[in-house]
Amino acid sequence: MLTAHNLTRRFGDRLAVDDVSFELNPGEIFALLGPNGAGKTTTLRMLVGLIAPTSGSVRVDGEVMTQQSAPALRGRIGFLTETPGLWDNLTVRQNLHTYAELFGLPEPSAAVDSVLDLFEIRDREHDRPARLSKGLRQRVALARCLLHRPSIVLLDEPTAGLDPESAREVRELIVRLRSEGRTVLLCTHNLDEVDRLADRVAVLRSRLIAVGTPEALRGRLFVPRVRVGLTEDAEGYAELLRRAGLREATADGRQLTASLADTPLTTADIVRRLVEAGAGVESVMPEERPLEDVYLELLNREDRP
Can you give the binding site for other proteins, defined by CB under 8 A? 11, 45, 48, 50-52, 71-72, 74-75, 77, 79, 81, 83, 85-90, 94, 98-99, 101-104, 141, 144
CA distances from 266 to 5, 259, 273 (A): 41, 10, 11
In angstroms, give the least distance from the CB of 41 to other proteins.
Answer: 9
Q: Residue 109: in which H helix or E strand, if any?
A: helix 108-118
- Residue 104 or 245 with smaller CB distance to other proteins: 104
Query: How far, in Å, CA of 269 to CA of 245, rounded?
Result: 12
Contact 140, 84 (CB under 8 A): yes
- Residue 48 or 251 with smaller CB distance to other proteins: 48
Q: For residue 16, which phi and psi values (nearest 5 degrees)?
A: -85, -40
165, 112, 109: which is closest to 140 by C-alpha? 112
DSSP bridge pairs for 10: 15
In angstroms, give the least distance from the CB of 118 to other proteins.
Answer: 18
In angstroms, give the least distance from the CB of 291 to other proteins.
Answer: 29
- Residue 50 or 175 with smaller CB distance to other proteins: 50
- Residue 150 or 214 with smaller CB distance to other proteins: 150
Q: Residue 303: in which H helix or E strand, if any?
A: helix 291-303
In angstroms, give the least distance from the CB of 175 to other proteins.
Answer: 23
In angstroms, give the least distance from the CB of 141 to other proteins.
Answer: 8
Query: How far, in Å, CA of 211 to CA of 23, rounded?
Result: 10
- Residue 43 or 259 with smaller CB distance to other proteins: 43
